[in-house]
Chains A and B, each alone.
Chain A
Amino acid sequence: MITVFDYFTLTMVAIVAVATITSSNLFVASMWSGIYSLLMACNFFILDAADVALTEAAVGAGVSTVLYMGALSLTDDKEQVSRGRKILPLLAVVALGLILMIVTIEHPRVGDINAPIHQHVAPWYIEKTPEYINIPNLVTAILASFRGFDTMGEVLVIFTAGIGVISVLSFKPKRAASVSGSELGKQIRGLHHHAVLRVVGKLLIPIILLFGLLVQFHGKYSPGGGFSAGALFAAAIMLYGILEGADRSAHAMPQAVMLKLAALGCTIYTGVGFVCMLLGHHFLDYNALWPSNPKLGQYYGILMVEFGVGLTVTAVLIMIFNAIANRATY
């Protein structure tokens, strides 16, 4: 039964992907790509990856669609359809596809427990997590503790990307703006004239924030963690910006504060690592935090690290949204 759902959503994903790239109106294409992400999230859930599904639904269907819309309002919404056929790219892609298709015949089938990936280090993680870390969600345990180095790198990459967006958009063209950013915000004032959307949307914001808090702090026992929670918080603020105008969301969440919060998140993460070092253990070895009861040390270490992750992701995504949505049109 599960596999039937799997095949169904996968087929839908493939169809929607084609629809995404063939629609010449870019607004339509970005809506299609939101639907694509939602279907992809359903499929991840069917494949037993609940944490990934939660993140993909919040990031792919929520945040990325909003960012595409914001960017499109500053550029052109129509794609110029070129006349000539592109034979060479098609040939290259089809040739690569055929080669990879032949390779897949040798792949282990989906769900095969004897596949090499399930024989290597994964059994060790599953067996040792209760002994060393003792939190129910294996994904969080590996993310924050066993492979804490990787996650620290990812958080720093997100921080860097946020700084990149801010610095790219800090340049202003020499000619005067046709509409300034704050004026644009006042002009359209979100969805001011759509009473139903505004009322229902406003009701959703606290629920999304509450769910974000659950995902953030309950991520050790159920699917979730800093990454998905950060995306959820940012989605709630973006919803506020869409409903009430982006100038108000930038006023409520000023860019300078967001930048400091993003840096603070990274500092908390690396700071926990350094505290472990000062206590005489290795970097990010949370056992140091509670020497008499290492499992409790792991618990608090993961809690703080996930908090840092959530803070950075939230702040960076809000910063990016505010920077794009409050940009003046030139």
Chain B
Amino acid sequence: MNLLGLYNYWVYLFLLLVGMYTVFAKNNYVKRLIGLSIFQSAVFLLFISMDKVAGGTGPIFTGNPVTDAVFANPLPQVLILTAIVVGIAGTALGLAITVRIREEYGSIEESDIRKMDDQS
């Protein structure tokens, strides 16, 4: 059993759990957004780890028959390429909402905001 070949997946798992724990347990909204983006890039790592082919090159034809023999799988790369830019657009939207929350409540800690909501 070649367990070292699974190292990428274990790091992916670790990052996924770190991101998920941050979203669950942290009280601060900006911290949660950072956790969410770690969670997101863990998924990117999963996809890109799957596309690798041993002895292959990046999926670009060079006209050289030696390097054009084996390619990494281009399909996950396409999916992740677009997902990265969509991810930053989503993060920016989250940050804008956080800024608005700070302006209305004077805080970006969830416990403070809940307290204020209960009082009103």
Those of A34-61 within 8 Å (CB) of chain B = 36-37, 40, 43-44, 47-52, 55-56, 59-60
**B85 engages A171 (CB within 8 Å):** no
Contact A110 B30 (CB under 8 A): no
Taken residue by residue from 42 to 70, chain B's Cβ proximity to chain A (1 for < 8 Å, 0 otherwise) reads as 00110011111111111111110000001
Complex CA–CA separation, A27 to B83 (angstroms): 25
A115 to B74, CA, bound (A): 14
Evaluate contact between B17 and A97: CB separation under 8 angstroms: yes
Q: If A21-B34, A142-B74, A143-B78 touch, does A49 touch B51 (CB 8 Å cutoff)?
A: yes
A126 close to B85 (CB less than 8 A): no
C-alpha spacing A121/B2, complex, angstroms: 27
Q: Is the CB of B60 within 8 A of A138?
A: yes
A205 within 8 A of B: no
Contact A158 B86 (CB under 8 A): yes
Which chain A residues lie closer than 8 Å to B11 at the CB level?
10-11, 13-14
Instruction: State the CA gap A207–B73 with chains docked (Å).
Output: 32
Rounded to whole angstroms, the CA-CA distance of A101 and B92 in the bound complex is 32
Partner of B59, one of A80, A117, A126, A154: A126
B71 with A74: CB separation less than 8 A: no
Between A and B, 14 residue pairs with Cβ closer than 8 Å are: A3-B4, A21-B26, A36-B38, A59-B87, A82-B111, A93-B21, A96-B17, A110-B7, A111-B5, A126-B71, A154-B85, A157-B89, A165-B92, A320-B96
Residues of A within 8 A of B (CB): 3, 6-7, 10-11, 13-14, 17-18, 20-21, 26, 29-30, 33, 36-37, 40, 43-44, 47-52, 55-56, 59-60, 63-64, 67-68, 70-72, 74-76, 79-80, 82, 86, 89-90, 92-94, 96-97, 100-101, 104-105, 107, 109-113, 115, 117-118, 121-122, 125-126, 129-130, 136-139, 142-143, 147, 150-151, 154, 157-158, 161-162, 164-165, 168-169, 171, 173, 221-223, 225, 227-228, 230-231, 313, 316-317, 320, 323-324, 327, 330
